[in-house]
Amino acid sequence: MNLALWISFLTVSAVNIVTPGPANMNTVRRAVQLGSKRVIPTIFGNAFGLAVGGVVCAAGIASFVMTSSVLWSLFQWLGIFYLAGLGIKLLIKKEPLSSNSSADVSIRAKKLFSEAFLLAATNPKALLFYMALFPQTLDQERSILLQASVMILTYCGLSILSLSTYSVLADFLRTQLMTQERYDKFRQVSGMVLILFAIKLTS
C-alpha cells in the first residue's frame, strides 16, 4: 500500500470512527458513570472487536458470509438484537454513578471489555466498512497480509484515540455537572439511541 492510499484510508476511517455510533455512546456512558481511567477495558474491547472483524474480512470469511443470504441475515440480526437488548437494559436497569475514579461502583474490567467487544464484533456496519474499503485499497501484487495488518492497526488505533478523547470529555462532564438523577436520564437517552441504531439496521 502506497502512502497516498494509506492517507486516503486514514481520512475515511477517521470520519467513520468519530461519527457518533454505538461504540461511542457506550464509551461515553461508561466514562460518565465510572470515569475515564476505568473505561480503558471498554476502549480496548472495542478495538479488539474491530480487529477481529478486520481479520475476518482479510481472510475472506466475510465474503463467504455475505454470499449466503441466510448467514448474512443471521449476522445482521445478531447485531440488531444485541444493540436492542443493551438499549433496553439501559432503560430499565438502574446503575449507580461513581462519585470518583476509585472502585466505589463495582464493575469488573472483564465485563467492560466483553461488553464493548461484543458491541463491535456484532455490528454489521463495521464489517461492511472493511468490505467496502479493502478491495479499493489492497494491492494484489503486494503482500495482502502486510497491507491488511497496516489497515486494521490504523483503524483500531484511530478507534482507541477517538474513544479515549470521548471518555476524557465525558469524565470532565461527570466531575463538573453529573448527578445521579442526571446520569439516570443520560443512561435512558443512551438506551433509546442504541434502540434507534438497532431499528435503523433493520432498514
pTM over 0.85: no
CA distances from 121 to 4, 53, 91, 152 (A): 29, 6, 23, 14
* Per-residue confidence (pLDDT) for residue 20, from 0 to 100: 67
- pLDDT, tens digit, for every residue of 113-125? 999 999 898 877 7
Residues 6+ apart with CB under 8 A from 163: 23, 24, 27, 42, 43, 46, 47
Per-residue pLDDT tens over the stretch 146-194: 888 898 999 999 999 999 998 998 888 777 776 778 778 877 887 888 7
User: What average pLDDT does the segment 46-64 reach?
Assistant: 83
Domain positions in the chain are 3-8+38-201
pLDDT tens-digit readout, 74-106: 777 877 887 788 789 878 877 676 655 444 567
Burial environment of residue 131 by CB neighbours within 10 A (0 to 12, 13 to 18, 19 or more): middle
Please tell me the distance from the alpha carbon of residue 117 to that of residue 100, in angstroms, as a whole number: 25
What pLDDT does residue 24 have? 85
